[in-house]
Structure 1
């Protein structure tokens, strides 16, 4: 009997009351495209039709800020509770507006030819990525152009991981698809250089990215066909950047392929150095990883597409999406897990021929999600059950899997357990 290698991941999510995603009353049915929090109390969400929402009480209540036009907003940045920047995607004149009085009044501070992404830095500078990259050091009063995009490049996001290191993501139109372009600065925006496109694993488009430190980033990519996106994405980790000069400056880097069959078109993501990360996409799911993106669980599942996520810390954050959706992942960082295997034989029988039983203990009533993956990380089967507190026994139908060596992982959102299983037919 020949035994082949494969992999199964079973991820069990305990939805602890102070750590689950909760839909909030946004008071609007407009699509919301971005959200930023200054601290755990104060946040701004923006969307279509001139929608600007503000909360000062951890999202419990949202007020609509006055705006005289019906611009469709796509980004927001905060320099304080009084100084707010929002950017529109008006077809003729994408604009950055600034409020210096907490959102009571607004003025145009930057008009460009392409949609504008904006962000702030630790030293209170603000950057805008559009047909060029602009920087303001005086709260938006004046702007200096620092890098010109050219051709058919369309930038969609700019982020700084500290006051020195920042990245702007863009895509360039080709014959039947889009390809990623990323530019990087390591001197606070004084100089920008492209990442070597030939260092990427393929010519896919970039849809979302997040850097945990100046030398480590996570990129979601999608292979468009005839300019239509596929319904799955690829996740890579980039690291070990070096600036070279081959007649012009270019950043070369190493990459790791983490997941080449992520089951969604990803619109935004947020990663932490602790290996925890989140992603949101068109399927209305908030995905969560505890191992740097190798495996994921559904942290929340809803009906509306999700467009942006802003995590304040590893357990606390917000997501926004279609039809006025605002989700909150509850505050409370003192999550204690007592998840454990229920015996010295967590899977029995092992090896398994037709069926085995997975034994574990749940400290509280939980919604359990079980995901089965092959050795390439591809999801083979998914199931979910709501279980009571106590000892659990889950039947595993191993007759449908090829013979081989399997790994079983159990996670409750704060703790990860691993055991092995053999299948023999």
Structure 2
């Protein structure tokens, strides 16, 4: 493994103002931690207190499904529109252990399947089809089924220093080649690798923090992300199918919990409790920061194609990625974000419920963002604090501010200012 000590520069060139994550109606207030779409229409999300929600119309509407449990769901995976699995734990009665949930009708009905052996705590599942799947979890345990989960057999794991660390994620490139990730906080992040249909797995310690998700660019080029509260976000990549890896610390606070690509080169990673996501336009070489609205924690995301994506997180929030956002034809002052000019803009504009303020700062400096009426009176102090060089996003809810025309203004510690006219509707 090669360790990189290169500081990852968070580029000033950020998102177009015409790209945005917008909140959609969610039927739950329980935190959602897992998201899975099998195609552009059918998707599910699951999380705390047994919450499962589903969509059959591409995320336009979401409905709750009855899981039959009140424990947290650690993973959710569907092989097609009908067959799906959830991993949770049995904690209400002895003996404690793993509880699997299985559906064969898209989640209309979920059937409990207690793990036969007690005190086994599993965390993640992956199915190639309705019959062939794997499940894994604490102590590096891995099991495989050939009959849709009626019977499970232990997989062969080559013993190693970190082979018994928790496995938290699994993903297969094809039926023969697959990887799993996980690790132990303050010790190591781990990748498990198989090339023989999961018969034998070999582990490798690769990072100072656990690894939480894996993405295959192809069979040779693979990326995994992770992090913890001490080391922050980290990334590893391989160009030879996982024989050798390069680790890089991104020098940003947050725990990377997922990774997906919207299109070639453009990757998105949620940072969980850091209330932000990071995104890259150059296949994870350099990164930008996107601050989530209302300080939302996002735990998982997935793009179904280049124009549609979803993210889930705290308090049941569901976000939809909307490219080419059309409601930003507004009059602006100093709107263009040149690399040496302080700038501000917001979208949508006019504002009904809330708006995303985008600023560009040509240097790391203290800034103030304020809202003024046309009499020159400050009606809201939106933000005061230090921002690094680059593009930043801050969500603003105008609340009970009266209908009318206002001026959003950003001022830095050197006295530089920029502003944009915005309209508040009822």
Note the residue ranges of structure 1 that are not aligned, 5 or more in a row.
1-5, 224-228, 242-250, 334-345, 348-355, 387-393, 399-425
* 1:370 alignment partner, one of 343, 360, 385: 360
Q: CA deviation at 1:239?
A: 2.5
Q: CA deviation at 1:273?
A: 7.7
Q: CA deviation at 1:261?
A: 0.7
Residue in 2 aligned with 1:94? 98
TM-score, scaled relative to structure 2: 0.68
Residue in 2 aligned with 1:275? 265
Question: Using CA pairs below 8 Å that are at least 6 residues apart, which structure has the higher relative contact order?
Answer: 1
Residue in 1 aligned with 2:13? 11
Residue in 1 aligned with 2:224? 219
User: Matched residue pairs, number?
Assistant: 342
8 A contact 1:13–1:297 mirrored in 2: no
2:13 aligned counterpart, secondary structure: coil
| 1:266 is the counterpart of 2:256 | yes
Residue in 2 aligned with 1:156? 168
Matches of 1:370 and 1:222, distance apart in 2:
27
Residue in 2 aligned with 1:322? 314
8 A contact 1:7–1:373 mirrored in 2: no
Matches of 2:59 and 2:10, distance apart in 1:
38
8 A contact 1:285–1:302 mirrored in 2: no
Residue in 2 aligned with 1:105? 109
Residue in 2 aligned with 1:170? 182
* 2:144 alignment partner, one of 124, 135, 141: 135
8 A contact 2:130–2:148 mirrored in 1: no
Matches of 1:235 and 1:54, distance apart in 2:
31
Matches of 1:265 and 1:7, distance apart in 2:
18
8 A contact 2:233–2:250 mirrored in 1: yes
* 1:381 alignment partner, one of 373, 385, 389: 389
Q: Which aligned pairs between 1:11-410 and structure 2 lie closer than 5 A? A: 11-16=13-18, 19-91=19-91, 92-109=96-113, 111=115, 113-121=120-128, 125-130=132-137, 131-147=140-156, 153-172=165-184, 177-195=186-204, 197=205, 200=206, 202-222=207-227, 229-230=229-230, 232-241=232-241, 252-255=243-246, 257=248, 259-271=249-261, 274-280=264-270, 281-293=272-284, 294-298=286-290, 300-330=292-322, 357=341, 368-370=358-360, 380-384=388-392
Structure 1's 369 and 140: CA in aligned 2 closer, same or farther, altered over 3 A? farther
Matches of 2:323 and 2:133, distance apart in 1:
28
Note the residue ranges of structure 2 that are not aligned, 5 or more in a row.
1-7, 326-337, 350-355, 365-386, 395-409, 415-426
1:35 aligned counterpart, secondary structure: strand
Residue in 1 aligned with 2:373? none
8 A contact 1:268–1:279 mirrored in 2: yes
Post-superposition CA distance 1:143-176 (Å, at most 9, x none): 2321359886211111112222211112136xxx
Post-superposition CA distance 1:68-110 (Å, at most 9, x none): 3312112111122221211114452122211122323333346
Matches of 1:305 and 1:36, distance apart in 2:
18
TM-score, scaled relative to structure 1: 0.68
Q: CA deviation at 1:332?
A: 8.1
Matches of 2:89 and 2:362, distance apart in 1:
41
Runs of 4 or more off by more than 3 Å in structure 1? 6-9, 147-152, 299-302, 330-333, 356-359, 364-374, 382-386, 394-398
1:127 aligned counterpart, secondary structure: strand
Matches of 1:152 and 1:146, distance apart in 2:
13
